Amino acid sequence: MPERRRRFSPQFKAEAVQMVLETGRPIAEVARDLGIHDGTLGNWANAWRREHSEPDQPLTPVERVRVKEMEDEIRRLRMENATPRSPAPQPPLPPRPSQSPSR
């Protein structure tokens, strides 16, 4: 006889995910305590993280200065690469040995 699929309320899911996030306990341990499969709780936790991703942290003043320095360097290097250069002078070829008629 096939097993019936269990359904969980949104409140139960939210509380289960909250237990994982706030306690720092492993998903498998929390799932075991709640009597659900760890893959199920892992899916709920991943879905929550995708929906509630934190915005990027703003740069510190030191990081802003470093980014500006790097952007300036990139701009300078691109200009150097775009500037045509004359080829480096080639050293003269050694003299060819003279061939005498040997016939």
- The DSSP line for 6-54 is P---HHHHHHHHHHHHHH---HHHHHHHHTS-HHHHHHHHHHHHHHTPP
Pair of tokens at residue 75: 């701009």
Q: Which residue has the higher pLDDT, 31 or 60?
A: 31
d(CA 103, CA 34): 104
Distance, in Å, from the CA atom of 76 to the CA atom of 15, rounded to the nearest integer, reads 54
| More confidently predicted of 63 and 88 | 63
Query: Is the model's pLDDT at 103 over the cut of 60?
Result: no
For 19-28, 76-85, 89-98, which range has the lowest pLDDT when averaged over its residues?
Answer: 89-98
Q: Which residue has the tokens 């934190």?
A: 54
pLDDT at 41 over 90: yes
Residue 12 has pLDDT above 90, yes or no: yes
Q: How many CA atoms lie within 13 A of 77 on its CB side?
A: 6
**pLDDT confidence band for 96 (50 / 70 / 90):** confident
Q: Are 16 and 30 in contact (CB under 8 A)?
A: yes
Average pLDDT, the chain: 87
Would you place residue 90 in the very low, low, confident or very high pLDDT band (cuts 50, 70, 90)?
confident
pLDDT at 73: 96
